[in-house]
Amino acid sequence: SGHQATRTWLQVHAHPRRRRRPQIQIQRAREGCSQPAGGMEIAVGALSGMVEALPGKLGELLQQEYELLSGARGDVAFFQDELRTMNAAVLRCEALEEPDVQTSSWIAQVRDLAFDIEDWVDLFAHRVDAGTHDATSHRFSRWIRRLTTIPDRHVIATELKELRARVVEVSELRKRYSLGPQMPSHHAPAVDPRLFALYADSADLVGMDGPRDEVAGMVTGQGSGGLKVVSIVGMAGSGKTTLAREVYRLVNAGFTCRASVSVGRSSDVAKVLGDMLSQVDSRGRGDAGDVNQLIGRLREHLQDKRYLLMIDDLWSVQTWEIIKHCFPANNLGSRIITTTRIEAVAKAGAGDHVYKTCLLGKDDAETLFTRRAFGSVGGCPAHLKDVSAQIMKKCGGLPLAIVSVGGLLASKARTRDEFERLGLEWRTNSELQGMKQIIKLSYSDLPANLKTCLLHLSIFPENHEIEIERLARRWVAEGFINEQRGTSLEETARNYINELIGRNLIQPSQMNHDGTHRSYVLHPVIHDFIICKSMEDNFVALVHAQQQDVPPGNGTVRRLSLLNSSKHDQATAQIDGAKVSRARSITVFSHTGRTPRLNELSVLRVLDLEGCQGPLCLDGLYKLLLLRYLNLKGTDVSELPEQIGELRCLETLDVRSTKVKVLPPSIVKLEKLMHLLAGNAKLPSGITKMKSLLTLSCSNIGKSADADIIQELRNMVSLREMELFCNVPRTSEDKKQVTFPSDGFQSLKKLSIRCSLPSVTFVTDALSKVEVLELKFEEGLSEESSGVSGIEHLSGLKHMIIEFSQHDAGAAAATAAVKTTAEKVHPNCQVIIVNVDKKTNE
């Protein structure tokens, strides 16, 4: 299999690419995204991390026992030195928000080069000796293997020379362009795109009365006479500034000092403090000075006064920590109102006094849109009602989008074509730059690793609900997650997701019963923005249902997303595998017929076909030697290839909700597999050899119909989560119990049992580490028997969910008995009962 993969990779990479001078231009028309003058922001988060990691990866290669031909080791060492130097330049470019076109072109070449070097390194072992280089190999066998792989070794040496030539060229370009810190651009000062929010007439506001009164109550509410800070937090464009200004106007009576300042991302603290001083003290000078002196003057002036301050647009806890020293706690009932997009900043200043803005409801959104677009409520012409509804849906209740798009349309011809062109196609519309700039601020404020992760979300269709578990594992497989001591890569990935939620760039959708996030969605405005950014940077290639193939001019495709077509539509032509042969991830949301042939995708790391319709061909799957994530959930696949054990890098395999009944025996060879989600499929024998397994979903049937998989799995110390599918026939007189022993599953923290009938027993001291227990049954037994015993033995239980598909007398008896036992023995355990109508009782 290693040599088969070699040929595939060589067909793609062996021929040297004709070296050419870079074309210093940014292709925009093909990408469908307008771009303001002055360059484009570079999404180099994944790049800087990769370039930084590559020297270490090459060093590991040199330390292995691989036999490299003469000169090859020198080339690898040369790569190490040059990449370290390049990384310093990449990091400088990463800090630029408006780099010139030369910098953008150079970054694109570095990205391409880094991808190719990493692909070469990752495939190296498979191409030379399929990874069999252990010290115990017989000397004669290793000598024979070396002879048989001499052709491959010569090709490898040739490829190294080609890569070296590209490294030299890119390094020379860096020196020629003198890439480094750039002088600031001298563009005309941008008009604050929030002018509508800053100077809106109260009478023109929609949906503001309730939030205004609630926040005003938080500001003026009874309590201690000490200083109180109230923070308004929400996504970009959600009306935070407008709301804060309305509250500021409403509650200003009774305060002897008032000031309203805006901070912004630049965080020129001296200027902010100078502006504040000039407003509270008529003798104060508003020019910027020494921060310490300004803080002292403000404290002195405010010491004996009841003051009201509005501090708009905070971006960091550090900035707040400086500014707050201006405010003496004088117990005179002073109040501060802050606004921010970041929840951590809001909580740092206001503690529990945080108000989160909401999107407009359907009626308020329609009122605001019709006022802006047509001048009055109810002014929408009949022939524009349906397209106006589509525009409002795309705006997603975000006031910024509604005001921006509605205001644009107000001055345009009231034709359907014009409304569709301007109201629905935002990416090509330069007249919406103000809105895009406001959204861009949130993106620009992200650290490099989060920029990469946010851009990755552009692979999903609009309004798609994204499962956090699925995304975290994908990010790990894509290499987006940096290792952190004491934290697993998946935990770090979830922390990244939580930070994006805290920055109001993604929105939680569904919650787990234990209060954690299960899934989230992207607001349509954010989704549209990151698609544009991804395409500018060639981060992902998006192919829509109406497109026959990957659009020309996309460059090297590293990530491919095939987007929706109707379930009833037949797929168009299959994507040409040669055009995507260097793709690292492929995600399909359309008909499976569009999926490229797998034997042409030798460097693929992620293959995600979840929910695809139509027959699925897995020919060549076993040749994807770098594959780490394989998701076939909800597809029509009925069996996996017998050679699936060749996928030695695989970390996640998901075949839930498919027709797969039995997993191939070779699956136990997947030593790196951490998540085996087989659903109702039967496991092969020898599953205990899989020492890396953390998550397992499988049938309760063991080697034979009479065997119990629990007995086989009980000693797997790596398991953290398990989902068990059981079938207990009602007709059987001797109903077999699903029994968990006292000395097994010592590391298991979450257990989910899906069974036709409740027939579960936990013996004394069983599952001492289990914190979450989910029991999901179809129907109950009888009023006399709950079918579940031993709940009292689960000493670590914190959350328990009981669900019955049919709410009969047996189900009622079972839920009552289990709940009573759990509450009596585990008083701190949260018991949740899900009834047949899916209503939840706690």
419-457 residue pLDDT tens: 999 998 887 788 888 888 899 999 989 988 899 999 999
Q: Give yes or no for a contact between 570 and 590, defined as CB atoms under 8 angstroms apart.
A: no
Task: Give the pLDDT score at 263.
Answer: 94
Least reliable range by pLDDT among 280-284, 523-527, 752-756? 280-284
Query: What CATH number is associated with residue 276?
Result: 3.40.50.300
Q: Is residue 140 pLDDT above 60, yes or no?
A: no
Task: Give the pLDDT score at 369.
Answer: 93
Say if residue 519 is in the same domain as residue 554: no
Say if residue 678 is in the same domain as residue 705: no
Say if residue 342 is in the same domain as residue 419: no
Task: Give the pLDDT score at 17.
Answer: 40
Task: Give the pLDDT score at 357.
Answer: 96
Say if residue 722 is in the same domain as residue 822: yes
Task: Give the pLDDT score at 428.
Answer: 77
Sheet holding 788-789, edge to edge: 738-740, 760-762, 788-789
Say if residue 649 is in the same domain as residue 633: yes
User: Is position 669 within any domain?
Assistant: yes
Residue that is last in its domain, among 329, 356, 383: 356
Residue 59's CB is within 10 A of a number of other CB atoms, namely 12
Burial class (CB in 10 A: 0-12, 13-18, 19+), 501: middle
Q: Is residue 48 pLDDT above 60, yes or no?
A: yes
Say if residue 554 is in the same domain as residue 669: yes
C-alpha 664/C-alpha 657 separation (Å) is: 17
Look at the block and give the residue holding tokens 């106006």. 388
What band does 576 get if pLDDT is binned at 50, 70 and 90? confident
Residue 23 three-state SS:
coil
Mean pLDDT calculated for residue range 477-482 = 90
Least reliable range by pLDDT among 57-61, 137-141, 310-314? 137-141
Q: Is residue 729 pLDDT above 90, yes or no?
A: no
What band does 25 get if pLDDT is binned at 50, 70 and 90? very low
Q: Outline where DSSP puts E strands in 211-341.
A: 228-233, 257-262, 307-314, 335-340
Look at the block and give the residue holding tokens 């201006």. 326
CA angle 479, 453, 83 (to 5 degrees): 50
User: Is position 22 within any domain?
Assistant: no
C-alpha 718/C-alpha 690 separation (Å) is: 9
Q: Give yes or no for a contact between 341 and 398, defined as CB atoms under 8 angstroms apart.
A: no
Q: Is residue 695 pLDDT above 90, yes or no?
A: yes
Query: What CATH number is associated with residue 521?
Result: 1.10.10.10
Task: Give the pLDDT score at 783.
Answer: 58
Residue that is last in its domain, among 332, 356, 380: 356
Q: Give yes or no for a contact between 752 and 777, defined as CB atoms under 8 angstroms apart.
A: no
Mean pLDDT calculated for residue range 17-37 = 37
Task: Give the pLDDT score at 253.
Answer: 86
Which CA distances in Å does 810 have to 103, 541, 625, 777, 787? 70, 53, 51, 11, 9
Q: Is residue 724 pLDDT above 70, yes or no?
A: yes
Q: Is residue 605 pLDDT above 90, yes or no?
A: yes
User: Is position 182 within any domain?
Assistant: no
Task: Give the pLDDT score at 195.
Answer: 56
User: Is position 27 within any domain?
Assistant: no
The pTM score is 0.86
Beta bridge partners of 478: none
Query: What CATH number is associated with residue 549?
Result: 3.80.10.10
158-184 residue pLDDT tens: 788 888 888 888 888 877 766 654 444
User: Is position 20 within any domain?
Assistant: no
Task: Give the pLDDT score at 197.
Answer: 52
User: Is position 718 within any domain?
Assistant: yes
Task: Give the pLDDT score at 133.
Answer: 42
User: Is position 165 within any domain?
Assistant: yes
Residue 158's CB is within 10 A of a number of other CB atoms, namely 15
Say if residue 677 is in the same domain as residue 732: no
If one compares 385 and 174, the residue with the highest pLDDT of the two is 385
Number of domains in the chain: 6
pLDDT over 70 for what percent of the chain? 79
Least reliable range by pLDDT among 414-428, 794-808, 825-839? 825-839
SS (H, E, C) 136-204: CCCHHHHHHHHHHCHHHHHHHHHHHHHHHHHHHHHHHHHHHHCCCCCCCCCCCCCCCCCHHHHHCCHHH
Say if residue 555 is in the same domain as residue 673: yes
Domain that holds residue 629: 540-567+575-694
Mean pLDDT calculated for residue range 607-619 = 91
Which pairs with CB-CB distance under 8 Å and at least 24 residues apart come from 180-186? 180/89, 180/92, 181/92, 182/96, 182/99, 182/100, 182/103, 185/38, 185/98
Q: Give yes or no for a contact between 133 and 65, defined as CB atoms under 8 angstroms apart.
A: yes
Say if residue 466 is in the same domain as residue 492: yes
What band does 674 get if pLDDT is binned at 50, 70 and 90? very high
Q: Give yes or no for a contact between 656 and 677, defined as CB atoms under 8 angstroms apart.
A: yes
Which of 125-129, 287-291, 394-398, 751-755 is the most confident on average? 394-398
C-alpha 185/C-alpha 809 separation (Å) is: 74
Mean pLDDT calculated for residue range 403-428 = 90
Q: Give yes or no for a contact between 54 and 62, defined as CB atoms under 8 angstroms apart.
A: no
Q: Is residue 200 pLDDT above 80, yes or no?
A: no
Query: What does the mean pLDDT of the chain come to?
Result: 81
Say if residue 605 is in the same domain as residue 676: yes
Beta bridge partners of 630: 607, 653
Q: Give yes or no for a contact between 574 and 553, defined as CB atoms under 8 angstroms apart.
A: no
Q: At what angle do helices 101-129 and 45-63 cross, to 10 degrees?
A: 30
Residue that is last in its domain, among 649, 672, 694: 694
AA identity, residue 555: G
304-329 residue pLDDT tens: 999 999 999 999 999 999 999 999 98
Task: Give the pLDDT score at 5.
Answer: 41
Q: Give yes or no for a contact between 292 and 269, defined as CB atoms under 8 angstroms apart.
A: no
If one compares 594 and 98, the residue with the highest pLDDT of the two is 594
Least reliable range by pLDDT among 10-14, 356-360, 729-733? 10-14
Q: Give yes or no for a contact between 242 and 260, defined as CB atoms under 8 angstroms apart.
A: no
> Comparing C-alpha atoms, which of 665, 619, 662 is closest to residue 642?
665
Say if residue 481 is in the same domain as residue 336: no
AA identity, residue 577: G
User: Is position 762 within any domain?
Assistant: yes
Task: Give the pLDDT score at 92.
Answer: 76
Task: Give the pLDDT score at 321.
Answer: 95
What band does 43 get if pLDDT is binned at 50, 70 and 90? very low
C-alpha 397/C-alpha 480 separation (Å) is: 32
Say if residue 273 is in the same domain as residue 385: no
